[in-house]
A and B are shown apart, each in its own frame.
Chain A
């Protein structure tokens, strides 16, 4: 009830805000900085390092958009948001885009009036339990206490899953992943449930990771992606294609290592030439210049490079690509053709 009132107010104000500011792209160019909403800290996706520089998989999407629009991947004002403040920040115009492990759902799309421009990470909700519990399937968790982040889709999925399997549970509501970790380690809850990527990164930090198992059950689809407001399709296109450029670059084998020579001398492959602005006028169509994709790839690399650096084998988390492999390798990452 309370939520729907807030969302209603958010929607109304959002519509008026959109009416007031016509072109986000022009606003960003005039400001010279991209206001990008991120988390207050999720391992691998967004967190400031010891020097205070934001790093992570979601952060790279912000940097890609900034590189494309402003020509400088550091011209980003990162606005930290919590699960509860993220949507109001976006609809109130405080941020230009939200890149913050946000699940694409129908109601967020249609009711909250947001446009999800793509899916940069296909996740699913899983369960982690201590090994000693001897549980092998989530269906055996009858009567368990479950640590769950409030205000997220995981909360709703959990209720659905337990209800449809006709088993009971006791939720332990928590605010952040860090808090959940502590509660789980201290034994306040038997089960910790959240997106599988976060379970993996959480488990990696435990003193004895092998004492905990991530169950095989994935109970939800969690397509996480960058989001913009409804009503500004030009801006949505820019963000969408900045992200698609990352995936297309990996499909075409363009990396941050070979981008210099490819941008210099072109390639035999017309698709690469179109992406890098050697042929056609793709950049102009987006309201950008011809080198937009070159700047993106030089700044953050292609999708695969960003994944490996932040989440994959080169990071402490060591996630496998899984569903996030390219479609040619059995995954779901697929960029519409750049033409």
Chain B
């Protein structure tokens, strides 16, 4: 019976490639861009929009003029064609980055401080690195201060010694009780600062290794970065303290924390900055004002600390009660429970919120331009646009400012996403 069959295939047919409509870019385009009529319309509209924008931006960038000395010359070179006048960037880049008064031959000082910042921040940001590097992180603030402001090295040294003395006193005394260690540390630090401050001769800054640069001479993107880095790193510990204070059982501490957070959150940052620059001047005699940079740092730090405190309180509230009870059942005291069990979990939950505050804070540093500090935006809006050569150049300058801010903020955002992945211990 079987022999009557004309043909029986004994081997399998080799698989043929899928039809071109079900593979490769064609399928991708069909599935993602033209899968339905509304999608098709959206795709076409979007392509048209991108095309229109590019048709304006590309020739503008490509025709850019880089080496004239004024806007009028730019226009002469361009002869009516569209084109950017990037010459303003090539002539004034140093003012945009460093402000117009920072001594040109000292630009290496903030540059060095920025490079060292990478080394100082690395062990804090990437905790797989050796812990010994934290020693440099502790020294860095004083080193950076000395590099950027110059003057006598004795000032930052005394400040550093004060902290060292405080830490030493804390370690010696905190065995007895936390309060003794805490107040002992404060007393020790202030003793060193007052005695050490008295020992520095008045004229020490005059012939120091690095020429002193007053705060008023700082400016440009450097000022934004300095304010951003200082305020974020100061407001994080302060915010944690406030968040814990708000949950405290001690009425006084709780009260102070609640009042501080609610008051500062209820006031716009720009108001605080005006208070810092204008009103505080009335409370000091004319010649003994607190440095404007310091006043602004205090105000921005207070502001962002209040926000970070609320973000962290959210993280604390998200922890199940069992975590607190587990810590108690192990016999841990309050600092241990917080340090070992509660905060690591609460902070991990709060990372997106904290980064959000940090990015917002960094961009808010441009608000100092309204109190006539020449940060990046202040520098552009004020001196550069008011010079007879560059009056009228907007897109190039503000576009460059936006680019600088984007680079930094995107970097912060990428870091936070890496951190979230790195700390992910759940199996969602």
Contacts and interface: CB of A to CB of B under 8 A. Distances in A.
A105 interface: no
Contact of A47 (B71, B277, B282, B383): B383
A94 B381 contact: no
A181 B391 CA distance: 9
Contacts of A93: 281, 286
A142 to B, nearest CB: 30
A88 B281 contact: yes
Contacts of A46: 386
Interface in B219-249: none
A88 B71 CA distance: 36
Contacts of A81: 372
B72 interface: yes
Interface in A91-109: 92-94
Interface string B249-285: 0000000000000000000000000000111011001
Nearest to B277: A85
B278 to A, nearest CB: 5
Nearest to A49: B387
A43 interface: yes
B388 A44 contact: yes
Contact of A20 (B286, B370, B374): B286
Contacts of A177: 386
A40 B286 contact: no
Interface string B68-90: 00111001000000000000000
A195 B123 CA distance: 56
Contacts of A41: 381-387
A233 interface: no
A75 to B, nearest CB: 15
A44 B277 CA distance: 27
B388 A85 contact: no
A13 B216 CA distance: 24
A42 B386 CA distance: 5
B119 interface: no
B100 interface: yes
Contacts of A9: 279, 282
Interface in B55-103: 70-72, 75, 91-92, 95, 100-101
B282 A92 contact: yes
B143 interface: no
A82 B381 CA distance: 12
A80 interface: yes
A206 interface: yes
Given A85-B278, A94-B281, A207-B75, A47 B394 contact: no
Chain B's interface size range is 35 or more
Interface string B286-297: 100100000000
A205 interface: yes
A201 B391 CA distance: 9
A251 interface: no
A133 to B, nearest CB: 21
Nearest to B278: A88
A82 B392 contact: no
B74 to A, nearest CB: 10
Interface centre among B370, B385, B386, B387 (most CB of A within 10 A): B386
A252 to B, nearest CB: 30
Contact of A48 (B285, B383, B392): B383
Contact of B388 (A43, A77, A80, A206): A43
Contact of B394 (A49, A77, A182): A182
A41 B72 CA distance: 19
Interface in A24-82: 39-44, 46-50, 52, 77, 79-82
A47 B381 contact: no
Contacts of A206: 392
B184 interface: no
A317 interface: yes
B181 interface: no
Chain A's interface size range is 35 or more
Given A40-B381, A92-B282, A179-B381, A50 B91 contact: yes
Contact of A39 (B100, B386, B391): B386
Contact of A316 (B282, B371, B388, B394): B388
A80 B92 contact: no
Nearest to B397: A178
A82 B372 contact: yes
Interface string A181-215: 11000000000000000000110111100000000
A52 B101 contact: yes
Given A178-B386, A179-B381, A316-B72, A17 B286 contact: yes
Given A20-B286, A92-B281, A94-B281, A178 B374 contact: no
Contacts of B285: 20
A176 interface: yes
Nearest to A181: B392
B353 to A, nearest CB: 32
A46 B383 CA distance: 9
A305 interface: no
B150 interface: no
Nearest to A179: B381
B71 A52 contact: no
A205 B387 CA distance: 11
Nearest to B374: A80
A137 interface: no
Contacts of B279: 9, 88
A79 B92 CA distance: 21
A58 B285 CA distance: 28
Interface centre among A20, A47, A94 (most CB of B within 10 A): A47
22 contacts: A9-B279, A20-B286, A21-B286, A40-B386, A41-B385, A47-B382, A47-B383, A48-B95, A48-B101, A48-B383, A50-B92, A79-B372, A80-B374, A82-B372, A88-B278, A94-B281, A175-B370, A181-B391, A201-B391, A204-B391, A205-B392, A316-B70
A-B CB proximity, top 9 nearest:
A41-B386, A93-B286, A40-B382, A52-B100, A205-B392, A41-B382, A47-B386, A92-B281, A178-B385
Given A44-B388, A85-B372, 14 more contacts: A20-B286, A21-B286, A41-B382, A42-B386, A46-B386, A50-B389, A89-B278, A94-B281, A175-B370, A178-B381, A178-B391, A181-B392, A207-B75, A207-B392
